[in-house]
Homo-oligomer: A and B are copies of this chain.
Amino acid sequence: MYDLVTFGEAMIRLSPPDFKRLEQTTTLDLNIGGAELNVAVGVSRLGMKSAWVSRLPDNPLGRMVANKAREFGVDVSPVIWQKEGRTGLYFLEFGATPRPTSVVYDRANSSFSKIQPGEVDWEEILQSTSCLHLTGITPAVSKSSAAVTLEALQKAKASGCRVSLDLNYRAKLWSPEEAHLTLAPMMDLVDILITTKGDSRTILGIEAENDEALAKSLLDKYPIEMVAVSYREGDTVWQCLFSAIAVNREKTYTTRTYNIDIVDQVGRGDSFAAGFLYGVIGENDLQMGLDYGVAFAALKHSFPGDFNWCTKDEVEALLAGPKPGVHR
Contacts and interface: CB of A to CB of B under 8 A. Distances in A.
Contact of A24 (B96, B170, B261, B303): B303
| Residue picked from A27, A106, A328, most chain B C-beta under 10 Å | A328
A91 interface: yes
Interface string A87-120: 0011101011111111111101100000000000
A67 to B, nearest CB: 5
Contact of A19 (B61, B72, B304): B304
User: Interface range on chain A: under 10, 10 to 19, 20 to 34, or 35 or more?
Assistant: 35 or more
| Residue picked from A67, A103, A170, A234, most chain B C-beta under 10 Å | A67
B61 A22 contact: yes
Contacts of A150: none
A86 interface: yes
Interface string A49-85: 0000000000111011001101111000000000000
A202 interface: no
| Residue picked from A21, A59, A310, most chain B C-beta under 10 Å | A21
Contact of A326 (B23, B100, B106): B100
6 contacts: A22-B60, A97-B258, A99-B302, A99-B318, A237-B261, A265-B325
